[in-house]
Structure 1
Amino acid sequence: MTRKRTAILISGRGSNMSALIAAAMAPDFPARIDLVISNRPGAAGLERAQAADIETAVVDHKAFETREAFEAEVQALLEARDIELLCLAGFMRILTDGFIATWLDRMINIHPSLLPMFKGLDTHQRALDAGVRLAGCTVHVVRPEMDTGPIIAQAAVPVLPGDTAETLGKRVLAAEHRLYPHALALYVTGKARVSGERIVFHEVEADGEGSLMSPTLITREQADA
C-alpha cells in the first residue's frame, strides 16, 4: 500500500494534529504525516510533532507583506517534500483563492460545528444560544468561502442541560479527535470522493446501531456477518 504524503497546517496546540499523527503511526493507515507547518513560531503543536519525530517548519505570516508571499513560502516547503494532501488543524489563517485552487480537492479541514450551521468562530456559544440539542464537528474539503465545501464526515454530541461553551467544547473536541482520522482514511482511500460539490461514497455502509458518526466505516466481513 502506498501511503499518501500528508502535511498538517497548524496555528496552536495541535490537538487534532496529534490525533492524526497517532492514527498515522499504524502501518495500515493510508496516509503518513511527513510535515507539520505552523504560521506561529510559538505554537505548542510544533513540540508535539517533534516529539513524534515529525518534521516541522515555521512560516511566520508576520514576516510577509502579503498573503500571497506567505503562501508562496508554504507552497515551496510542500513541493520540496512532495506533499500530496493538506490537513488544516486549527490553522487560523484565511487562505487565498489561488492557494486553494492549487490544492483543489487535496485540502481538508475540521470545523467544530455541524456545518452548514455555525460557520466561523464561537461555535459552541452560538449553538447554546440557538438552543440546538445536538452539536458536533465536520470534516470537509476546503473551498474559497470559509467553512464550506463537500462534507466528508460529521460527528454529533448531545447538548446537555447546564452546558457552557467550555463543557460543550470539550465534548466536541473529543469527537473531533475520533472523526478527523476516520474522515482522512475515507478520503485518502477513495471511499469518500468529490463529485461536483458533494461527496459520494464507495464501500461505506451504516453500522445499523444508530451511530452519531456518519458515515461509519465497517469491514466487508462485518457487513456480511
Structure 2
Amino acid sequence: MATKRIVVLISGSGSNLQALIDATASGRIDGRIVAVISNRPGVLGLERAQKAGIRAELLDHKAFDSREAFDSALQALIDSHEPDLVVLAGFMRILTTEFVSHYLGRMFNIHPSLLPRYKGLNTHQRALEAGDTEHGCTVHFVTPELDGGPLVVQAVVPVATDDDASRLQQRVHECEHRIYPLAVEWFCADRLQLLQEGVTLDGALLPPTGYRLDA
C-alpha cells in the first residue's frame, strides 16, 4: 500500500494542521502532507508548514474576480501535487459544486458542532443558547451541501452549567485535534470509504452520526 499524499487547505493559525503534522511525523498516519495552501497571506499555518519542511503555498482569493475563478485556480494547484486526500483545516471558503464534485470521496472537513446541529458559524454560542447538555465536533466528507456531507467521526463534549462560549470552544478544539488525525489515519490505511450507501469503516456501514467518541 503506497503512502498517501495529503494536501491541507487553511485560512488561519492551523492548529488542526499542527495535529496532522504531528501525527504524520510520529508515523501514526501512513501519509505525507505534500503541501499546505492558504487563501490568506501571513497566517501562522503557513509558518507551521515551513517549520515542518512542508511546501507552503499562498493563493490569495482576493486576486480573483469570482469564486469560480479562484476555485479553478485552487483545483489546478492542488492537482499539481497529485493528492490522495484533501483536508480542509479551518479553510474559510464556501466552495463551488464543481470543485467539491472533483474531490468527492477524498476531501474532509471538520466542523465545531455535532452535525447535523448548528451548521455554519457561532456554533458554541448557539449550543449554549439552546440549552444543550452536549456539544462537540464532527469530521465529514465534503459534498456540495454546506456542512452537510456524510459523517465520519464525532467527539462529544459535555456542556457544563457555567460554560461560556470561550471555555466550550477550547474543549471542542482539544477534541478536534484528536478526531481529525484519527479520520485521516483511517483513510490513509484504506479503512474508510465513501460509498453510495454511506460511509464504511473496515467494510461496515457507519451510522448516520458516524463513529462517536465521548470526551
Same fold (TM over 0.5): yes
Distance in 2, matches of 1:87 and 1:81, equals 13
Deviation at 1:9, TM superposition (A): 0.4
Whether the aligned pair in 1 keeps the contact of 2:29 and 2:188 (CA below 8 Å) is no
Question: Residue by residue, what CA displacement relative to the aligned partner does 1:188-211 show, whole Å, maximum 9, x if unpaired?
Answer: 32322112252122178xxxxxxx
* Structure 1 partner of 2:200: 200
Moved over 4 A (4+): none
Secondary structure of the structure 2 residue equivalent to 1:6: strand
Q: What letter matches 2:30 in structure 1?
A: P
Q: Which position in structure 1 is the counterpart of 2:59?
A: 59
Distance 1:67 1:162 in 2: 41
Structure 2, gaps ≥5 residues long = 205-209
Query: For 2:139, what is the secondary structure of its paired residue?
Result: strand
| CA–CA separation in structure 1 for the residues paired with 2:23 and 2:40 | 25
Contact 2:29/2:181, CA 8 A, preserved across alignment? no
Q: Deviations over 1:31-87 (max 9, x none)?
A: 211100000012111111111111010000000011121122212222222122100
Q: Would you say 1:214 and 2:207 are equivalent positions? A: no
Q: Percent same amino acid at aligned positions? A: 50
Aligned match of 1:101: 101
Alignment partners' CA distance in 1, 2:197 and 2:92: 24
Report what 1:136 is aligned to: 136
The 8 Å contact of residues 39 and 60 in structure 2, kept in 1 or not, is answered as yes
Is this contact kept in 2: 1:152–1:187, CA < 8 A? no
The aligned residue for residue 27 of structure 1 is: 27
Assess if the C-alpha contact under 8 Å between 1:149 and 1:197 holds in 2.
no
Secondary structure of the corresponding residue to residue 86 of structure 1: strand
Once the two structures are TM-superposed, the CA of residue 4 in structure 1 deviates from its matched residue by 0.8
Residue identity in the other structure for 1:15: S
- Render the CA deviation track for 1:145-192: whole Å, top value 9, x for unaligned: 100111110101110121000000000000000110001111232322
**Residue type of the alignment partner of 2:211:** S
Q: How many residues align?
A: 208
With 91-100 and 25-34 compared, the bigger mean Cα shift is at 25-34
Q: Mean Cα displacement is larger for which, 36-45 or 166-175?
A: 36-45
Structure having greater relative contact order (Cα 8 Å, sep ≥ 6): 2
> 189-198 or 34-43: which moved more?
189-198
Partner SS for 2:128: helix
RMSD, aligned CA: 1.6
The DSSP-based 3-state class of the residue aligned with 1:184 is: helix
The alignment status of 1:74 with 2:71, answered yes or no, reads: no
Residue aligning to 1:13: 13
Equivalent residue of 1:109, what SS? strand
| Aligned pairs (5 A) from 1:113-128 | 113-128=113-128
> By how many angstroms is 1:117 displaced?
0.5
Which blocks of at least 5 consecutive residues in structure 1 are unaligned? Answer: 205-212, 217-225
User: Letter of the aligned partner of 2:135 in structure 1?
Assistant: A
